[in-house]
């Protein structure tokens, strides 16, 4: 079910990005026909929404952030991307066939069927989408470790479609996850921002605005073997941390 969110940032109605401005795309005097559309964030409908989520994941600007290293010349075409990824994560990397299959399913979630199956079968991941006018424009995943003593969650796979960027969509997605983590009683959460990708644009500010703090950079994480470049690819990753407000009293104690 989708929670209707009228104000993306939760601040003044005049905030530039609490609504997404969209034209009718038919030319002419579009400014007069522009509508202000609310952004809605909620759990994904795995039957309907995964097609667009797959498209968002496969945008060239997203792949490397979310799934490791994108092969050069990656196309938006999903099946082409799948083939490229398998080529990219080749046997030369020392990863055996079974591991390769596993990586293909759980990390490089390229097809809508794979995304659907992954989240359907997962008790520890929740897929959220942001919609504008009923169209999926962004996504984020809550990683919920299960079992007693598992107090920290993970924020992953945050991405917004190219056309909808800069309107506060990711901010709204992140806020929804923070509310959910608080509701579930998590004490904190981590997220990683991969550095060194093309353009190297780091959404640090986005996380910081929502209460995350940088805990330093994990150096040279090996993301895999690039068959195309003929070498292992290493990237740095900035570790971001969010901590829930401390409880005033110990839980379960009456006084
Ligand atoms: C990062 C991403 C999710 C941001 O989505 P978005 O909806 O455009 O973000 P918002 O509009 O909520 O931006 C909020 C703030 O963060 C800043 N910001 C957003 N993306 C940024 C980026 N890549 N680099 C630097 N700053 C960024 C915005 O300028 C904005 O700042 P402001 O409030 O001062 O204007 C989107 O650009 C994307 O999908 N990028 C590729 C995948 C990716 O990098 N995912 C994150 C992995 S950690």
**Which pLDDT tens digit goes with each residue over 191-210?**
998 886 666 678 899 999 99
Q: Do the beta carbons of residue 187 and residue 152 sit within 8 Å?
A: yes
pTM above 0.85, yes or no: no
The answer to which of 90-104, 190-204, 219-233, 235-249 has the lowest mean pLDDT is 90-104
Q: How far apart are CA 153 and CA 142, in angstroms?
A: 7
Higher pLDDT, 247 or 207: 207
What pLDDT score does 147 carry? Answer: 74
Q: Do the beta carbons of residue 196 and residue 235 sit within 8 Å?
A: yes
- Do the domain assignments include residue 28? no
Query: Which range of residues forms the domain containing residue 159?
Result: 2-9+37-243
- Do the domain assignments include residue 251? no
Residue 104: pLDDT above 90? no
Q: How many CA atoms lie less than 13 Å away from 174 in the CB half-sphere?
A: 25
Higher pLDDT, 64 or 25: 64
Task: Give me the mean pLDDT over the 92-100 stretch.
Answer: 52
Highest mean pLDDT among 9-13, 92-96, 127-131, 251-255: 127-131
Tokens for 94, please give them. 């020392």
Cα-to-centroid distance, 9 and ligand 1 (Å):
14
What pLDDT score does 194 carry? Answer: 84
Residue owning the nearest CA to atom 27 of ligand 1: 203
> Residue 45 sits in a domain of what CATH number?
3.40.630.30
Of all atoms in ligand 1, which is nearest to the CA of residue 197?
44
What pLDDT score does 47 carry? Answer: 96
Which of 128, 114, 116 has its CA nearest to residue 1? 128
Q: Do the beta carbons of residue 236 and residue 222 sit within 8 Å?
A: no
Interacting residues of 69 by C-beta distance below 8 A, sequence separation 6+: 88, 223, 224, 226, 233, 235
Higher pLDDT, 193 or 95: 193
Helix (H, G, I), strand (E, B) or coil at 222: strand
Residue 63: pLDDT above 50? yes
Task: Give me the mean pLDDT over the 174-182 stretch.
Answer: 96
Cα-to-centroid distance, 99 and ligand 1 (Å):
32
Cα-to-centroid distance, 40 and ligand 1 (Å):
17
Q: Do the beta carbons of residue 28 and residue 22 sit within 8 Å?
A: no
Residue owning the nearest CA to atom 17 of ligand 1: 206
- Give the residues surrounding ligand 1 with Cβ less than 6 Å away: 61-62, 65, 158-160, 165-171, 193, 201-203, 205-206
- Do the domain assignments include residue 72? yes
- Do the domain assignments include residue 26? no
Of all atoms in ligand 1, which is nearest to the CA of residue 192?
48
- Do the domain assignments include residue 25? no
Residue owning the nearest CA to atom 29 of ligand 1: 166
Residue 76: pLDDT above 80? no
Q: How far apart are CA 117 and CA 114, in angstroms?
A: 5
Mean pLDDT of the chain: 72
- Do the domain assignments include residue 15? no
∠ CA(62), CA(65), CA(71), 5° rounding?
75
* Phi, psi values for residue 97, rounded to 5°: -60, -40
Cα-to-centroid distance, 252 and ligand 1 (Å):
40
- Do the domain assignments include residue 170? yes
- Do the domain assignments include residue 24? no
What pLDDT score does 249 carry? Answer: 65
Tokens for 65, please give them. 């952030």
Task: Give me the mean pLDDT over the 44-72 stretch.
Answer: 78
Highest mean pLDDT among 64-73, 96-105, 139-148, 172-181: 172-181
Residue owning the nearest CA to atom 48 of ligand 1: 193
Confidence of residue 31 (pLDDT cuts 50, 70, 90): very low
The preferred substitution site among 19, 132, 158, 203 for testing ligand 1, maximizing ligand atoms within 8 Å of CB, is 203
Confidence of residue 2 (pLDDT cuts 50, 70, 90): very low
The count of structural domains within the chain is 1
């Amino acid at each position: 079910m989708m929670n209707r969110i009228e104000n993306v940032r939760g601040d003044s109605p005049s905030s530039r990005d609490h609504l997404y401005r969209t034209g009718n795309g038919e030319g002419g005097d579009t400014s007069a026909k522009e509508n202000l559309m609310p952004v809605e964030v909620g759990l994904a409908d795995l039957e309907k929404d995964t097609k667009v989520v797959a498209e968002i994941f496969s945008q060239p600007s997203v792949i490397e952030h979310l799934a490791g290293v994108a092969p050069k010349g990656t196309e938006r075409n999903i099946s082409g991307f799948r083939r490229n990824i398998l080529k990219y994560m080749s046997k030369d990397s020392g990863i055996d066939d079974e591991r390769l299959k596993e990586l293909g399913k759980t990390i490089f979630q390229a097809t809508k069927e794979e995304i659907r199956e992954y989240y359907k079968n997962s008790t520890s991941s929740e897929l959220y989408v942001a919609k504008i006018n009923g169209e999926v424009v962004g996504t984020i995943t809550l990683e919920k470790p299960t079992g007693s003593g598992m107090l920290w969650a993970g924020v992953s796979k945050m991405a917004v479609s190219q056309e909808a960027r800069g309107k506060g969509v990711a901010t709204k997605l992140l806020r929804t996850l923070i509310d959910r983590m608080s509701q579930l009683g998590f004490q904190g959460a981590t997220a990683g921002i991969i550095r060194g990708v093309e353009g190297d644009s780091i959404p640090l500010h986005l996380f910081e605005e929502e209460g995350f703090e940088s805990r330093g950079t994990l150096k040279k994480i090996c993301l895999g073997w690039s068959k195309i470049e003929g070498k292992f690819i290493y990237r740095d990753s900035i570790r971001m941390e969010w901590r829930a407000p401390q409880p005033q009293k110990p839980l379960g104690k009456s006084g």
